Amino acid sequence: MTATGSLRSELLEATDDEIEDAIGYADAMVLRGLLYQLTGDESVAGIESGRDLRGYAVFPEITRAEDVDVLRRKAVAFLKSYRDSGAPSIDRGPSERLPKSVSLLAGETLEGDSLLTWIEELALDPWARSHEWEEKPDAAKLQGFSVTVIGAGLGGLTAAVMLKRAGIPYRVIEKNSGVGGTWHENRYPGARVDTPSRSYTNIFGANYPYPGQYCPWPENKKYFDWVADDFDVRGDIMFDTEVSSLTWDEVSATWQIAIDGPDGPDVLSSSAVITAVGFLSRPQVPAIEGQLEFQGESWHTARWPEDLDLNGKRVAVIGSGCSGYQLVPELARQAEHVVMFQRTPQWVWGIKGYTSPFPPQVNWLDRNFPYYTNFMRLRTMARLAAWPLMTDIDPEFEDPHAVSAFNKGMRDAAIAFMEQKIADPELRATMTPAHPPWSARPVMADVDYSIYDAIQRDDVTLVTDGVRKINRTGIEGGDGTQYDVDIIVYATGFHATNYLFPMSITGRSGRTVHDFWQEGGSRGYTFSMIPGFPNFWMLYGPNTNGGLGPSSFSELTMRYVEQCIERLMQDGKTSIDVREDAYWRFNQVVDERNSLKAWSDPRARNYYWTEHGRSTTMSPFPFNEIFRLLRHPKFDELILE
Ligand code: NAP
């Protein structure tokens, strides 16, 4: 782990050749921003960048090879001289320089909330989002307030670390036996992130040495174990304990929390509750005729058995979302035969090195080039600046397949990848989605081996005319063909739009969240609060998906929550709730804005959209608006009692 300020003994021993070799792997945009920050060299700032559409996103790049060479030469000179000076603790450069350095990294001049967001994401200050008390309450007052966090995945761990740092008493309840949430549960072959691992960290954990660009589940789980241990929150987690219901008690101004754990059922009491239960955590297995007759084994992708030997097994996979598309290529390598039942194809973009670990030089740079990790983290996040371009509907744009010129460009890139991979036009037609890119969750895949390679293997059969029924020996397809298999895997997704499912949550006047969300489905005020449910916040709740990664979203929400808690204590009140009119106003904006996004396209059918005619999962806001919405609570829209 790079500890800023530590002596870099590895660098001290590096030869000139080793330094030159490593810099050959450095990202040129990162070098431009970082060198400028560390040295103030204006000639670095003068190097131009352009924009490169790489399939699914836009990446600012240094486009001229000679400029890349200049940056590398300067970086080599910097690192050699730093080594020769004994590689001492090095200052991060003047704060006044940061706006320009970050803009140089991002490839555009950043101001206002965009600049503030990216400076925080740079994580030079790992505690930039931790709570700063205006006036810290005395110990007795703090001890009188307790928070229960539900879930110890990404959101729950973020909450735990931030509450601990603020000195607010808390406990975490986790249904699993370990931390990591999604990455504790999703252990199917091929499971890995599709957002860069470097941005899958917290700002307080930005220096975590991920060994690859898009890491597989065991590496993701390691990160969460590291957070739990390094930030010393594991001891505050009640594992193997599930919350079944939450009931607000007006008299004591507490939540009564019914749990079931290793010691049996119990009811706990807490001043506040923060749910961090995720929305892709409760498997959805469809009811299919004959399911119970099947004599083989079956399970959902999120319930993959340990130590499974697939040698000689015939496996059916139902479902072709991200999980199905990630699973089948790996399964094909292990099983005797795979039958994939695909109802809807998804867009796939090829990424070079998607499944490969980093060459050693990359992590060497992380350890030895001061602040390289920070700038590299921001580099992987800054792609989100193009999110509106990627997902906005352009009402002026007319095309049968796409929602904007840019969206069409992404579609063309996906089709070009498919054409590279699949020669048969009929198979290409089968694999071409009818919906525009980003109207459903697309899939990232390795350019060298992916679902497109897998479905052309002799030991893989692609079935596209549906599942008629399941019987003793396997699955009968839509056309009556029988597929005998030993195992059926349900890659059929999650109860994604049914937030907080299956907990029963009863707020003021006996009203339940379920009742409240009857009309239109799940919603939150500032993504986190529900009127009539005081001292209650959701992390990564309704309409949070997209625009900003889950770790950033959780940190920003936690900062918001802690400001609410401080006000509660400051004012000597016991409950904080949101006004119903403010809740509806916020959600009207969410719905209006969502109607202009790609996922409103009627051709898409998935959890991005619901039967209520609105999206409960997707956020229509770009990152800077999310930052602004969560930066300071609007106390005139909240009720303190
Ligand atoms: P999903 O996207 O909801 O896909 C479910 C699949 O099951 C769809 O293909 C669906 O078909 C099919 N299906 C559902 N019921 C069916 C039935 N009765 N008969 C036949 N097919 C049926 O679920 P997922 O693939 O698990 O992905 C969920 C989300 O998890 C992703 O969108 C993503 O956000 C996340 N994820 C991320 C990664 C990653 O790369 N980091 C990997 C996996 C998952 P229809 O589309 O026709 O309904």
Q: Could you list the mean pLDDT of each consecutive 10-residue stretch along the chain, which spans 641 residues?
A: 59 97 98 98 96 75 96 98 94 96 96 97 97 94 96 98 98 98 97 94 96 97 98 98 98 98 98 97 97 98 96 98 98 98 97 96 97 96 87 95 94 96 98 96 96 98 97 98 98 96 97 95 98 98 94 97 97 97 98 96 88 94 97 98 97
**Does residue 546's CB lie within 6 angstroms of at least one atom of ligand 1?**
no
Contact present, 210 and 380 (Cβ < 8 Å) = no
The answer to whether the peptide bond before residue 502 is cis (omega within 30 degrees of 0) is yes
The Cα–Cα gap between 54 and 58 comes to 6
Ligand 1: does its nearest atom lie under 6 Å from the Cβ of 441? Answer: yes
Decide: 316 in ligand 1 pocket, CB within 6 A: no
Is the distance from the beta carbon of residue 478 to the nearest atom of ligand 1 less than 6 Å? no
Residue type, 159: A
Instruction: State the Cα–Cα distance between residues 577 and 274, nearest whole angstrom.
Output: 14
Instruction: State in Å: Cα 317 to ligand 1 middle.
Output: 11
- Beta-strand relationship, 576-578 and 536-538: unpaired
Q: Tell me the best of 56, 322, 463 to mutate to test the pocket of ligand 1, counting ligand atoms within 8 Å of each CB and taking the most.
A: 322
Tokens standing for 514? 């379920």
Ligand 1 contact, 565 CB (< 6 A): no
Q: Are 271 and 253 in contact (CB under 8 A)?
A: yes
Ligand 1 centroid to 467 CA: how many Å?
A: 16
pLDDT reported for residue 54: 64
Looking at residue 51, its pLDDT comes to 83
What are φ and ψ of residue 340, in 5° steps?
A: -105, 125
Q: Shortest CA distance to 305 belongs to which of 174, 474, 187? A: 187
In whole angstroms, give the CA distance from residue 577 to residue 574: 10
604 lines ligand 1 (CB under 6 A): no
